[in-house]
Every structure is written in structure tokens, then in C-alpha cells.
């Protein structure tokens, strides 16, 4: 009986001491759950290559210097040109914070053309003038504002065009007509938007205005300098394209 009593007393003492021992243990430290890392922002820094194409429209202003416009003979014409083009682009961007600036060059094979109205309808001759932009390219700077994968930009620089101008007489046989193939340097200005839709890939749309300056055809005797036509050609273009970016460092998102 004595042993049973002592055993019961010992269990009671141990039960009383157990809560005090648990209270003396150090509290379990609290740790925050790890924060999920944000996706890195793309950078526009680096080289890129792309394909692009679109449509163009404009005006060809022809002036004939040998004779004035009279009833039945209107050699000075203004007429519309239009058509399409396709080509490639190469460039390099630098990005500092949200500002993107770069250099870009492109070239396009084009078929943008138009013909004047009949210039001698009163006399029944049916003479016409013809303009064709067979190709053009740009060397320009770009300045833009990037917000993540989106980029808005303006551009401007030099432009060059492969232009053909032709005078087609209505009733006179060859070689009464004249043709001039000419590479003309001019200038361009434009704006656009580009979006990085996948790693290293972007798509863009862009508008450009191009002024190719003046081209000249000298008719018959070159000593009669007034017997010539001069053209002033301007073109508006809208293009869409896709580019591959060789890329630079990834920008961390804070």
C-alpha cells in the first residue's frame, strides 16, 4: 500500500512540474513567408533585326519650264502616287531608365507609282507623265519612352529613293519620250509604337513622311536648258514589322 501511495504522489509532482518546464522553453521564432519574385522587365538595349512592309501614298509635282500652261496644253502636273513595299531593318537601342534612344537603318523594295492626267487633251495628243518609286531606305535616329514591354518613339533622319520619272508622248513614236532613273537623297520624320510580345521578339507599327527633293529630265538638246521637267516627290508610309532583339541585361523590378 505504501508503494502505491508513493507512486501516485510522484505522478502528481511530475504533472505539476511539466507546465512550468514547457513555459521555460524558448518561443518558436516567427518567419515571414517568402515573397514571390517579380518578373524581370525586358530591356530594349541591344541589336535587332527585322522584317517590315506596308503601303505608301504621296504626290508627284512636275513642272515643265519650256512652255507655260495654256488651253489644250498643260505640261505642269500634280498627280497622286500609291502602292506597297516590303523590306528589312537593322538597328541598335540604348535604354537608360525609361528613355530609349538608338540608330536604325532600313531598305524596302517598292512599287509606289502614279500617272498624270492627259496633258494635251485639247490638242488630242494624250501625253502623260509617270512616276515610280522602285525602292527606298532610311538612316535615322530614334527617341522613345518605354513602360515595361511597350515603347512609344519618334524618329527622323536621311532617306534615299530609287525614283523613275517618264514622259510618254501620246502620238509621237519613240524616241520622242524620255525617262530618268535617279537615286535621290532626302529626309524623313515619323513616329510609332513597339511592343515586346515575347522574349527577344517585338512587333511595331510606324508612320513616316519622306521628302525626296527634286529630280530632272532634260529633253532633246541639252543646250536648251529650259526644255526640261522637274519633279518634287513626297511620300507618306505606314509600315508594320516584327524584329528579333539580341538583347542586353535584364532590368530588375523593385
User: pLDDT tens-digit profile of 171-228?
Assistant: 665 556 789 999 999 999 999 999 999 989 999 999 999 999 999 998 877 678 888 8
For position 17, what pLDDT does the model report?
47
Distance CA 250, CA 43 (A): 6
**pLDDT score of 5:** 42
| Alpha-carbon span 203 to 69, nearest angstrom | 49
Predicted local confidence at residue 205, as pLDDT = 98
Confidence at residue 37, expressed as pLDDT on a 0 to 100 scale: 52
Q: Give me the residue label for grid cell 508594320.
A: 240
Mean pLDDT of the chain: 83
Q: How confident is the model at residue 4 (pLDDT cuts 50, 70, 90)?
A: very low
Q: Which pLDDT does position 158 carry in this prediction?
A: 98
Q: Give the confidence band of 159 by pLDDT, cuts at 50, 70, 90.
A: very high
Please report where in the chains the cell 533585326 appears, as a residue.
49
Closest by Cα among 223, 238, 249 to 43: 249
Q: What is the pLDDT of residue 220?
A: 77
pLDDT of residue 31: 57
- pLDDT, residue 73, reads 73
Q: How large a percentage of the chain has pLDDT more than 70?
A: 76
Contacts of 92 (CB under 8 A, 6+ apart): 46, 47, 48, 102, 103
High-pLDDT (> 90) share of the chain, %? 59
Identify the band that residue 128 occupies on the pLDDT scale cut at 50, 70 and 90: confident
What pairs with residue 48 in β-bridges? 91, 245
3 state DSSP class of 2: helix
Domains and CATH numbers, the chain: 58-245 (2.40.160.20)
pLDDT value of residue 226 = 86
70-82 tens-digit pLDDT? 776 778 889 999 9
Per-residue pLDDT, averaged over 138-150, amounts to 96
The model's pTM is 0.78
Residue pLDDT, tens place only, 39-67: 566 789 999 999 999 999 999 999 988 88
At residue 69 the predicted structure's pLDDT band, cuts being 50, 70 and 90, is confident
Q: What is the mean pLDDT of residues 1-8?
A: 46
Cell readout for 74 is: 498643260
Amino acid at each position: 500500500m505504501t508503494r502505491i501511495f508513493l507512486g501516485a504522489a510522484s505522478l502528481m509532482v511530475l504533472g505539476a512540474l511539466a507546465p512550468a518546464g514547457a513555459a521555460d522553453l524558448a518561443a518558436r521564432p516567427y518567419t515571414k513567408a517568402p515573397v514571390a519574385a517579380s518578373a524581370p522587365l525586358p530591356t530594349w538595349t541591344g541589336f535587332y533585326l527585322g522584317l517590315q512592309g506596308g503601303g505608301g501614298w504621296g504626290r508627284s509635282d512636275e513642272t515643265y519650264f519650256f512652255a507655260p500652261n495654256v488651253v489644250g496644253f498643260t505640261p505642269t502636273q500634280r498627280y497622286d502616287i500609291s502602292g506597297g513595299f516590303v523590306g528589312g531593318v537593322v538597328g541598335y537601342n540604348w535604354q537608360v531608365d525609361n528613355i530609349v534612344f538608338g540608330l536604325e537603318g532600313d531598305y524596302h523594295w517598292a512599287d509606289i507609282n502614279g500617272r498624270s492626267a492627259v496633258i494635251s487633251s485639247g490638242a488630242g495628243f494624250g501625253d502623260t507623265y509617270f512616276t515610280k518609286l522602285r525602292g527606298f531606305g532610311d538612316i535615322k535616329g530614334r527617341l522613345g519612352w518605354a513602360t515595361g514591354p511597350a515603347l512609344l518613339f519618334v524618329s527622323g533622319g536621311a532617306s534615299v529613293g530609287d525614283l523613275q520619272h517618264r514622259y510618254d508622248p501620246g502620238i509621237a513614236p519613240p524616241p520622242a519620250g524620255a525617262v530618268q532613273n535617279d537615286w535621290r537623297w532626302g529626309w524623313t520624320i515619323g513616329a510609332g509604337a513597339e511592343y515586346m510580345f515575347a522574349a527577344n521578339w517585338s512587333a511595331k507599327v510606324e508612320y513616316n513622311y519622306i521628302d525626296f527633293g527634286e529630280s530632272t529630265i532634260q529633253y532633246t538638246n541639252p543646250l536648251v536648258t529650259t526644255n526640261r521637267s522637274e519633279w518634287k516627290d513626297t511620300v507618306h508610309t505606314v509600315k508594320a514589322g516584327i524584329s528579333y532583339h539580341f538583347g542586353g541585361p535584364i532590368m530588375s523590378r523593385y
